[in-house]
Structure 1
Amino acid sequence: MKKRGLLFSLAVFSPVFLWAQNNLSIKVVDEQENKPLAGASVSIVGSLATAQTNRQGAILFKNVKDGDYTVRVSYMGYKPVEKRLVLNSNEELTVSLSVQEFVADEVIVNATRANAHAATTYKNLNRRDIEKNNLGQDLPYLLDQTPGVVTYSDAGAGVGYTGLRIRGSDPTRVNVTLNGIPYNDAESMGSFFVNLPDFASSVDNIQIQRGVGTSTNGAGAFGASINIQTNTRTDTAYAELDNSFGSFNTWKNTVRIGTGLIDNKFTFDGRLSRIKSDGFVDRGASDLKSFFLSGAWYGKNSLLRANVFSGKEKTYQAWNGVPEEKLFGTAEDVEGYIAANGLGGADAENIRQSDPRRYNSFLYKNQNDNYQQDHYQLLYAANPSENLTLNAALHYTRGRGYYEEYRAGEDYSGYGLEPVIVGDQTISSTDLVRERWLSNHFYGLTYSAQYKANDRLNLTLGGAYNEYKGDHFGDVTWSRYPLFEASAHEMHAGEFDTRYRYYFNDAKKTDFNVFAKGEYQAGNISLFGDVQYRRVTYSFLGFDRNLNNVQQEADLNFFNPKVGITYQFADNSQAYLSYAIGNKEPVRDDYENSTPDSRPKAERMQDIELGYRLSTARFHAGVNGYAMLYKNQLILTGQINDVGAQTRMNVPDSYRLGVEADLKWQPLRHFSWALTGALSSNKIKDFYEYINIYDAEWNVADQQINHYKSTNIALSPSFVGSSELAFIPIKNGELAFISKYVSRQYLDNTSDKERSLDAFFVNNLRLSYQMKFKGVKNIGLSLLINNIFNEAYESNGYTYSSIYQGDPTVYTSNFYFPQAGTNFLLGLNVKF
């Protein structure tokens, strides 16, 4: 509790007393017409000062210390400019920008991005922010120091299957786009970054919008959206080698090359990557490969870019977690778990002998997840006139793969088979190996048009149409006993290589949306409006009223309006207020295990955001409050529907209320302190828990219902805080001390402390040094020591409970995903 209070107090009440003494006034104008350029981005290199000009094209930075500075100015459609100046008194500077001869890549994502004056809560990360921690861990871990983010890893070290929650919202509620193109899986709506290993090495910038945010493409942004832009134009040729090695035999090898600008028109860039790791968890190994290719043509008023990128992953399964009896219990507790779950032989010895924090229940050598995903993007942007920008993109994603697993004692009936009779023996179950496949195609079109009517009014029209087609099927590839009638001789052979397809179904989903945005400047006030219409159709295999698997269809229509107001103060600060409505359809599992009568309803959320932003030469602050009010939020209750399945159910009323802070203070050029804090209350007003009551035959005989009022939403910590102290002790060297605190998280919605993850406080140390040699642009050495105090913690888990007929005791099983203790990653980056 003390740690939580300290971090939040520091985040909100950090000193804002600056020692600088000068005011720097900058005006940005068009070089030819000398007219002011409103909305130009201005930053002072080496300081935290960054902001946009007002309607008069002016900006004022207060309290800038004496010294030599470089002022960097950029504006869409104009050549960026850097100016050096020596500041020792108040200064007025005019910067003239000339029209750029080519269309910048940034226009590709503008339609779905929040700008500096937007009444939206957001965080921008540039290439430098991403590169400094990019030593092999997956993309979610590179976003860990942003407000309200909690990351987790199945294998415990940030390589392989990883994920993140933002404001407590899981990945199915976080919209992800790559160059404005949807990335979330169309059916599960999750974002599996393991399918794009080392993608961060091809990323130029990321914007994270918390809450509903601005209208975007793809899955509904119900807690946040992550808008990723890949490589942009580089005018000079380059080659780069990026290698790292670390704990658990973790290796990352990356090669990047680029031609620079050829004949003032063409660029080509490429990347090839490999990441391998044994994982912290036993056998939690990952073998990941990827590439990224991009070619662009730059015309005078247009841009055409083609991206082809692919990822292939082979990851040993670690998704069962560690049972509570093994992680926290005694030897007696472990024996009780063995008896209750019927473990024997190698499985029993595995749980007895393994390290409690590294235990993995899987032993089969090929218990792997195998998947490949290929992406093709064709992006076009044009400026047919000074005030009009057009964008369009065609995309296609091909995914295919399976996970293989060993299953002991499987009943033939579960695979649509009759028992096998061999001689006088009737065999009703067998050990087997099966593969569960997913083969899919995702393709479509995105588009936008942005029109700047004058220096007061900006209009945007955009949208997308996407189609998804996916085949789901499963094959038995090996069985100990025959699957069909066999001779006694075959019976004694003991192994049967076969390929028997025991299920197949397909699905089709279409997603159409169109949105219109407008921003109007009236003095210091900016008004924002955004309306989106989205239609989703889904054809899938589900149950009918007679509990037969039949093809079903769903057709949903959503209207998502958003309004906001921003007030710009004279000191580069601004306040904003917004109101938005978001809607989101259920995921595949919600649909396929239900009938038309029991299908859950779509979720609806009202999002209110109130915030304040300030940017000076030494201090940057963003503080906001939010209210996310849900109607029909989908959660696991344990309730059995009309086909006997436990799917998520709608709860009428729930909410997330919170305050967030994102601050950075730089009192000295060689020292900075970044802080984030997110304090929240996440509640379900009325929650009904359903617990299965099993009879002697392990059939569900009944359910016990428990009622909870104003209970906490699962996996939604009340406080998340982070700190990064960065110090430059020598030229080109940096030392950073990074901390993260996450308060208690409940595994279900009962607020039961016995079903929860303890709070954790983890600290990392990052060291880096850059140097140059003749013929080498840069050599960078990086050392990241994670969890330097060897904190034993778990960042994810799950739980379920049961009752046995005649025994009123509720038996609860908790499972946890322990994260690695002290570990390191050492990197060497060479740029030519």
Structure 2
Amino acid sequence: MAMLLLPVLAKAQFSISGTVSEKSNTLSGASVRLKNKATGMTTDAQGKYRFSNLKAGNYTLSTSYIGYQTIEKTIKLSSDEVVDFTLILSAFLADEVIVRATRANEKSAATYKNIDKAEIERNNFGQDLPFILNNTPGVVVTSDAGAGVGYTGIRVRGSDASRVNVTINGIPYNDGESQGIFWVNMPDFASSVDNIQIQRGVGTSTNGAGAFGGSLNIQTAAPSENAYAELNNTYGSFNTLKNTVKIGTGLIDNKWSFDGRLSRIKSDGFVDRSAADLKSFFLSGAYHGKTDLLRINVFGGTEKTYQAWSGVPEAKLRGDLVGLQTHYDNNKDYLYYTDADRDNLFNSDNRKYNQFTYKDQNDNYAQNHYQALYAKQFNEQFSFNGALHYTEGKGYYEEYKNQQKFSKYGLPNANAGGTDVAKTDLIRRRWLDNDFYGATYAFNYNPKSDLNFTLGGAYNQYRGKHFGQVIWAQYASTATNDYHYYDGKGNKDDFNTYAKVNYSPISQLSLFADLQYRNVKYDITGLDKNRNPLDFHNNYNFFNPKFGATYFVNEQSNIYASFSVANKEPNRDDFTNLKTGLAVPKAENLNNIEAGYRIKNSDFNVGINVYGMFYKDQLIFTGEVNDGGDPYRQNVDKSSRIGIELDGSYIISSKFAVNANAALSRNKIKNYIDYVSEYDANFDLINVQATTYANPDISFSPNTVLFGELVYKPLSGLAVAFQSKYVSKQFMDNTQNDSRKLDAYWVNNARIGYDFSLKGIKNINIGLLANNIFNKKYESNGYTYSSIYPWGTTTENFYFPQAGTNFLLSLNLKF
């Protein structure tokens, strides 16, 4: 990998250099691309660019910048050339201004990666968005159903989704209470995305949840200049099917545009009974003025997903019949009540096993988003963008439960033929009905080329209702169909404001400061799912400063360093799952140091970054559970993540290119106390045993994540890519115990794409994605817990196996 990332000395090569400006001011951060080589760069602090090591021949340069018209120039290169560009204001305001305030650039001293529309399209075969982002540094993804459709997850630098901030057009997407990201609620959203910026670490100030591992800044599709229609279809293993229809008017009278998408995705899943039935839509209309932009987005999705979130017991996965019998004996009174449950456990496929057999053990949810986005360019120095938004969500998960006590549901015992019945089989639904709404804003002031100010922020409110229903019972009690056996509310108000400034005291140096204040108010009331009373009222005030500097060594390279502070409130479960008598969890604090070096030219682009993330009061699982069997998190005093990341690409020739990245890290808790519950022979809790561990690894934090891709283009329109990803072992708890880990895995994929056109069809793309081509058996996620009984200590491990070799074939038509 190191050899592939090294630049190759060229023979008798030439250069193209120049400056990009508007009127009398140079433009830093303007994009300059060599179209026929599919490579490019951004201008430095002085607006300069330089492509080196070019062979003689014809080249077309394309230059673009937010708010300005794109310019192309074609030259015949036979010696070193200087090509300057003078840009003029666009006839209409570009959509990029909507996300500019929350994005990093080369002056921000942040660690980030931009993913453009072309890359998203190449990798979009219908899998959830995390799998499209899987090729970026330090990212690990997983799928409950094993094939990337349905419930999926993403970790950045070992941090789970609740610690990754996600915004869509600058509007927060993370769930207000869990702070998690549920991509299953927005199936095929990638088909409506124009570009994504991934910031690793704290990053720049943004809206919504605190970024403790990274942030995803998503911009939805910008308008096409011309009317279009697209039909995108995928079919593959496990009866996975994706159908997408996209239409757009293009620019009408150079002012109006309308775009729409309708999608459906179905898959049986790799795991038994893990089918997903997903539908979504995206509608957008916009007015494009010369100095203002108004865009209305309405999008949403519905999902019906069979539950596959219990995993596979370790003994089942390993084919250990003795261990499986022990697992059955230990759990038959809680998990395996019926003969059908037992037969399913012992006779199903070891890697495809799903505990649930009830035919409607489904998760059902619908979510709709409404966005009104407005941007105004008052003059060349001053601009504004803001948004109003509303998200409504409602749904439930349904489950069959054996031998439930009526008292757990607030019901009197039933009477069956004169006999008092205290337990019954039943079917219950647990509902979430939530509303999320608010406003975001940002003012940008650029008085001169070496100075830029941004003032922005947001105010958002979340209103969540939680309730449960019993829709069927073997023995009827007194409940009616509209009876709620619990009702809980979660209200959250989130306000933040930030001020950012970029200043260049000298031409090669850019200084960056970013100050954010955030206030969060929690009100959690009612009853939880176990009918325990809730009464939490918390108010948090956070100050999150960030400082950095970038030094431009020359037109091709720069060095940066930054220091950032982030604070993060606990999530709902940290309160509702809390064991009686324990202290209410405190907010978490993070100090983040980033430093790196970036270099790029026409063929070669590489960055190296070192980081330190030092936590105070990080919330982690301690191994203990509450009376309802729910795990909960407690604060640990000190923990850290220290690592180095490399990300590079090299165009070897017109036919070969290589992309690679590596993330090497050390993730530690200074002192960790693990708690194990002790029960008597009647399974009543009698004690909790504590064990202290010095400097163990943080759970689900692999020390090594590597990715490599070799791209071969044998002829025009045809591209073949071979991808390889390695993830080192991960521990499923914080004891660093080898008996509770996910094994390291190395998975290889191949992708083929062929583009051509026929009369009446602008472009036809045939694509094939072959996942896990060497049929590696691996697990990307899991969980563990331990208990002490009179007969000894029992540790239970559960895993989420991923699919072996599988295929997705796509046919995409553009008109």
Q: Deviations over 1:86-127 (max 9, x none)?
A: 222211112222221211100000000001232000000000
1:403 aligned to 392, 397, 401, which one?
397
2:342 is matched with: 348
**Secondary structure of residue in 1 paired with 2:499:** strand
Q: Residue type of the partner of 1:673? A: V
Give per-residue Cα distances to partners, 1:405-428, cap 9 Å, x unaligned: 000111112112232233442211
Residues of 2 paired with 1:550 and 1:233: CA distance? 48
Task: Provide the C-alpha distance between the structure 1 equivalents of 2:93 and 2:210, rounded to a whole number of angstroms.
Answer: 30
Letter in 2 for 1:537: K
Q: Report the equivalent of 1:682.
A: 667
Separation in structure 1 between the aligned mates of residue 639 and residue 612 of structure 2, nearest angstrom: 11
Match of 2:78 in 1: 88
Is the alpha carbon distance of 1:803 and 1:771 closer, same or farther for their aligned partners in structure 2, counting shifts above 3 Å? Answer: same
- Aligned partners of 2:707, 2:532: CA distance in 1, in Å? 51
One-letter code aligned to 1:714: S
Q: Among 302, 318, 338, which residue is 2:308 paired with? A: 318
Deviations 1:257-294 (A, max 9, x none): 00011112100000000000000000100000000000
Letter in 2 for 1:661: L
Q: Note the alpha carbon deviations across 1:567-622, whole angstroms, 9 max, x for none.
A: 00114100100000000000001122347972110000000001011111111001
SS of residue matched to 2:353: coil
Residue identity matched to 1:827: S
Alignment partner, residue 93 of structure 2:
103
- Whether contact under 8 Å (1:565, 1:576) holds in the other structure is yes
Q: Is residue 61–residue 571 contact of structure 1 (8 Å, CA) maintained in 2?
A: no
Which amino acid is 1:503 matched to?
Y
1:704, distance to aligned residue in structure 2 (A):
1.2
Taking only aligned residues, the RMSD between alpha carbons, in angstroms, comes to 1.8
State whether structure 2 residue 672 is matched by structure 1 residue 696.
Answer: no
Asked whether 1:554 is paired with 2:548, we answer no
Aligned counterpart, 2:15: 23
The amino acid of 1:739's aligned partner reads S
| Letter matched to residue 580 of structure 1 | S
- Is 1:412 the counterpart of 2:406? The answer is yes
Structure 2 residue identity aligned to 1:533: Y
| Equivalent residue, structure 2, for 1:259 | 249
Aligned to 2:483: 500
Which one-letter code corresponds to 1:119 in the other structure? Answer: A
2:8, 2:135 → 1: CA distance?
Answer: 21
Pairing 1:829–2:789 present: no
Deviation at 1:697, TM superposition (A): 1.9
Contact 1:62 1:571 in 2 (8 A): no
- Match for 1:574: what amino acid? N
| Alpha-carbon distance in structure 1 between the residues aligned to 2:428 and 2:482 | 9
SS in structure 2 of the partner of residue 510 of structure 1: strand
Summarize the Cα distance change of 1:671–1:357 in structure 2 as closer, same or farther, 3 Å threshold. same
1:480 and 2:464 matched: no
Amino acid at match of 1:561: P
**2:703 equivalent to 1:713:** no
Please show how residues 363-442 of structure 1 align to structure 2 within 5 Å. 363-442=357-436
Secondary structure at the counterpart of residue 111 of structure 1:
helix
Distance in 2 of aligned mates of 1:646 and 1:763 = 35
Residues 1:611 and 2:603 are matched in the alignment: no
- In 1, are the aligned partners of 2:489 and 2:526 still within 8 Å (CA)? no
Aligned 8 A contact 2:293 2:376 in 1: yes
Contact 1:785–1:824 (8 Å) recurs in 2: yes
Do 1:18 and 1:667's aligned partners in 2 also have CA atoms closer than 8 Å? no
> SS of the counterpart of 2:677?
strand
Q: Secondary structure at the match of 1:189?
A: coil
Distance in 2, matches of 1:481 and 1:55, equals 75
Q: Alignment partner of 1:70: what SS? A: strand
1:706 and 1:746 map into 2 onto residues whose CA distance is 17
- C-alpha contact 2:46 2:507 (8 A) present in aligned 1: no
- In 2: Cα distance, 1:313 partner to 1:10 partner: 46
Aligned pairs for 1:635-784 within 5 A = 635-639=620-624, 646-784=631-769
Distance in 2 between the 1:423 and 1:248 partners? 48
Which of 186, 198, 210 does residue 208 from structure 1 map onto? Answer: 198
Write the mapping of 1:191-230 to structure 2, written as runs, cut at 5 A.
191-230=181-220
Asked whether 1:294 is paired with 2:294, we answer: no
Secondary structure, in 3 states, of the residue corresponding to 2:714? coil
Of the structure 1 ranges 740-749 and 77-86, higher mean CA displacement relative to structure 2 is found in 77-86
Contact 1:733 1:769 in 2 (8 A): yes
Residue 581 (structure 1) aligns with: 565
Q: 1:97 to 1:631 in 2, by over 3 A?
A: same
Structure 1 residue 551: deviation in Å?
3.0
Aligned partner of 2:793 among 782, 785, 810: 810
CA drift of 1:66 comes to 2.5
What TM-score do you get using the length of structure 1 for normalisation? 0.95
Task: Give the residue type in structure 2 aligned to 1:347.
Answer: D
**Partners in 1 of 2:700 and 2:45 — Cα distance?**
44
**Shift in Å, 1:820:** 0.2
Q: CA offsets per residue over residues 686-721 of structure 1, 9 Å max, x none?
A: 001000000122111001111110100000000001
3-state DSSP of counterpart to 1:262: coil
Distance 1:829 1:550, change over 3 A: closer
Alpha carbons of structure 1 residues 435 and 92: separation in structure 2 relative to 1, 3 Å: same
Q: Distance in 2 between matches of 1:338 and 1:53?
A: 64
Provide the C-alpha distance between the structure 2 equivalents of 1:500 and 1:478, rounded to a whole number of angstroms.
Answer: 12
State the alpha-carbon separation in 2 of the partners of residues 543 and 476 from structure 1: 16
Q: Return 5+ residue gaps in structure 1 as ranges.
A: 1-6, 486-496
* Equivalent residue runs for 1:2-41 within 5 Å: 9=2, 14-18=6-10, 21-30=13-22, 33=23, 35-41=25-31
CA distance in 2, matches of 1:142, 1:554: 37
Q: Which residue identity does 2:501 align to in structure 1?
A: G
Instruction: Structure 2 unaligned segments of length 5 or more: list them.
Output: none
Residues 317-353 of structure 1 deviation map (CA, whole Å, 9 limit, x = unaligned): 0000000010013223222222221134001111111
Counterpart-to-counterpart distance in 1, 2:247 and 2:292: 24
Report if aligned partners of 1:60, 1:570 keep a CA contact under 8 Å in 2. no
Supply the AA of the counterpart residue of 1:582: A
